[in-house]
Amino acid sequence: SKLIVDVGSRRPIPNTFFGAFFEEINHAGTGGLWAELVNNKGFEARGSSVPSNIYPWTIIGEDRSSIIVSTDSSSCFERNKIALRMDILCQRQSCQPGGVGISNPGFWGMNIEQGKKYKIVFYVRSLGPIDLQVSFVGSNDGVKLASTNIKASRLKVAKWSRMETIIEANATNHNSSLQITTSNRGVVWLDQVSAMPLDTYKGHGFRSDLFQMVANLKPKFFRFPGGCFVEGNYLKNAFRWKDIVGPWEERPGHFNDVWGYWTDDGFGFFEGLQLSEDLGAFPVWVFNNGISHNDQVNTTAISPFVQEALDGIEFARGSPTSQWGSLRASMGHPEPFDLRFVGVGNEDCGKYNYLGNYLKFYEAIKRTYPDIQIISNCDGSDQPLNHPADLYDFHIYANSKDMFSKYTKFDNAPRSGPKAFVSEYAVQKEDAGAGSLLAAVAEAAFLIGLEKNSDIVQMVAYAPLFLNTNDRRWIPDAIVFNSYQNYGTPSYWLQQLFIDSSGAILLNSTLHNSSSSIVASAIEYKNSQDGKNYLKVKVVNFGNTIENIGISIHGLNSSVQPFGSSMTVLTSPNIMDENSFSKPNKIVPQGTSLENASKDMNVGLLPYSITSFDLLI
Ligand code: AHR
């Protein structure tokens, strides 16, 4: 095979080409990127048919007959009225050593690390003085890792009172619990119990290792918060931003009925915008358009939802003196967020009220915010849309063979009208494993097809981003984690080979006499680290034999600099190979310097591989 790259034939790739899509799925945020350690901190957790319950809190103490735990609606927080009540029946002398109380295991164990500091906040009320011991304890061995005493007079806690303390761990246990115990006879109410590590990214609440994994992808946009999460199985459980902003203590939380868990909504609308900013990415806010999986608001009654979307945009980018912008300012961000993209619903095209509702949102948003780019759920890749839009969503989940074959998907897509936003793609079906090499190689070919069609494809993101390994609801995903570890699947690592594409120049490249398993593209980009110009030629071999290929660079005035050029390969001996906690780097891009780099090169491509040639020019 021969690949001819013509440096004289050039076209810019959109600055927003390559991004990330975050959804509250697989405990991605709750018990994941959002670093809150306490699970069900407000004692409100419930499901669609389950009344509020204190799970996973448990009662502790050697003498359980000394404590009665119940809930009532006496909280000081209007939107989440449930509080925990502890009736402690033993006296200091009669209580068993250690007292009695409650324990929270977090999300499958809290990661408590020696030398790290944790901020604990809770609200308490009592009929008498309180003397509480707050501790992190190893769930498996009972060893105390950190502890403090909180005492207050009867007067101070007669009404709800906020307690805050910072404790430092003197040992490490990745499977710990938070315990609150007492040996004081009396009645104590607790609510909104939070424990956060102090070392979150910029103190913004994002678990730092998971933040870094996303940041390393250099996403230029950040689509959030879903996905089906935005829709809900029922509208009553959909993501409605006004319930998910303001002080965390006041957020009611909600049941994520699509993905089957309670979220106390610490990671809300503000946090999605903040995270986008921290990543240097444009936020892409997807809002509910009055449609869930099972119920819909009729277009004649959609105006409250339209107003809610307008208010949400004002929250994000209105002046700090505006009604909703002032709420944002009160949360610590007086400057507007750079919100330029909104998605009207998720995967709702074709539903009875979609088009009618969509047009109401479109007209109202364009009237007030003409610069905002509006994303329709209707796929415009085969024929032009019958309604106005700036972008259209395109989602694809397929087996690896189908995904590979889709590298031509946008070759014949309409060139006028809205641009394509490939807002979810992944090899997902039978041969994906839990994130196999094969899946990544097929996705690489698809991405190369998108890059070559980036005159019409403006944005692309893999889905889903995160998997907490204890809630394996949707597999595969890009980043897998538990309480303290993480790794990228091959689908994560292949994306690293595309991070230079945003804002780069696409060069014309053509394959001659090529095997049908080869797909290639070429770009010119400036390396942000050394500030130098490179050609990047990416070639996928989706076949089971080595392919020899000649690469010829035409139209280049300068020469290729052998020293400084490199070759990076992502492959593995077996197509179903995966990364894991024990072998996180089994399949990662392997780089070597290319000392024989030139305008004419012959190279061998390994079976089932993607190879990137970065040629210094
Ligand atoms: O990415 C997982 C799910 O796939 C998303 O929630 C939805 O948009 C799609 O069906």
Record the tokens describing residue 525, joined without a space: 């980009």
- If asked whether residues 342 and 475 sit together in one domain, one would say yes
348 Cβ inside 6 Å of ligand 1:
no
Probe target for ligand 1 pocket from 26, 351, 424, with the most ligand atoms within 8 Å of CB: 424
- If asked whether residues 232 and 185 sit together in one domain, one would say no
467 Cβ inside 6 Å of ligand 1:
no
Of 197, 214, 233, which one is at a domain's C-terminal end?
A: 197
Of 498, 519, 551, which one is at a domain's C-terminal end?
A: 498
Contact 189, 106 (CB under 8 A): no
Task: Give the closest residue to 339 by CA, choosing from 380, 389, 267, 287.
Answer: 287
21 Cβ inside 6 Å of ligand 1:
no
CB under 8 Å to 51, separation ≥6 — which residues?
none
CB under 8 Å to 356, separation ≥6 — which residues?
298, 299, 302
Atom of ligand 1 nearest to the CA of 226: 6
Give a yes or no: residue 512 inside a domain: yes
Q: What are the backbone dihedrals phi and psi of residue 396, each rounded to the nearest 5 degrees, phi first?
A: -145, 125
- If asked whether residues 396 and 426 sit together in one domain, one would say yes
Record the tokens describing residue 97, joined without a space: 């050593």
What is the ipTM, given to two decimal places?
0.99
Give a yes or no: residue 110 inside a domain: yes
Q: What confidence score (pLDDT) does residue 97 get?
A: 81
504 Cβ inside 6 Å of ligand 1:
no
Task: Determine the distance separating the centroid of ligand 1 and the alpha carbon of 146, expressed in angstroms.
Answer: 40
User: What is the C-alpha to C-alpha distance for residues 501 and 451, in angstroms, rounded to an integer?
Assistant: 8
- If asked whether residues 214 and 277 sit together in one domain, one would say yes
Whole-angstrom CA distances from 353 to 366, 374, 403, 606 are 20, 18, 31, 50
- If asked whether residues 457 and 528 sit together in one domain, one would say no
CB under 8 Å to 262, separation ≥6 — which residues?
30, 40, 44, 45, 46, 47, 253, 254, 255, 256
- If asked whether residues 320 and 375 sit together in one domain, one would say yes
464 Cβ inside 6 Å of ligand 1:
yes
- If asked whether residues 565 and 468 sit together in one domain, one would say no
Strands 533-541 and 261-263: unpaired
pLDDT along the chain (617 residues), means of 10: 97 98 98 98 85 91 90 94 94 79 98 98 96 96 97 96 98 98 95 98 98 98 98 96 96 96 96 98 98 98 98 98 98 98 98 98 98 98 97 98 98 97 94 97 98 98 98 98 98 97 98 94 95 97 97 96 96 98 98 95 97 97
Task: Determine the distance separating the centroid of ligand 1 and the alpha carbon of 383, expressed in angstroms.
Answer: 23
Going by CA atoms, what residue is nearest to atom 3 of ligand 1?
227
418 Cβ inside 6 Å of ligand 1:
no
Q: What confidence score (pLDDT) does residue 479 get?
A: 99
Give a yes or no: residue 440 inside a domain: yes
Give a yes or no: residue 50 inside a domain: no
Range of the domain at 578: 2-13+504-616
- If asked whether residues 29 and 151 sit together in one domain, one would say no
Give a yes or no: residue 48 inside a domain: no
Give a yes or no: residue 46 inside a domain: no
346 Cβ inside 6 Å of ligand 1:
yes
- If asked whether residues 116 and 249 sit together in one domain, one would say no
- List the CATH number of the domain containing 577: 2.60.40.1180
- If asked whether residues 215 and 97 sit together in one domain, one would say no
Q: Is 416 exposed, middle or buried (0-12, 13-18, 19+ CB in 10 A)?
A: exposed
Number of domains in the chain: 3
Give a yes or no: residue 43 inside a domain: no
230 Cβ inside 6 Å of ligand 1:
no
Of 455, 476, 498, which one is at a domain's C-terminal end?
A: 498
Task: Determine the distance separating the centroid of ligand 1 and the alpha carbon of 88, expressed in angstroms.
Answer: 47
- If asked whether residues 369 and 481 sit together in one domain, one would say yes
Whole-angstrom CA distances from 252 to 46, 214, 418 are 11, 28, 38
Give a yes or no: residue 372 inside a domain: yes
- List the CATH number of the domain containing 215: 3.20.20.80
- If asked whether residues 28 and 106 sit together in one domain, one would say no
Instruction: Compute the CA torsion angle 31, 36, 39, 45 (nearest 10 deg).
Output: -100
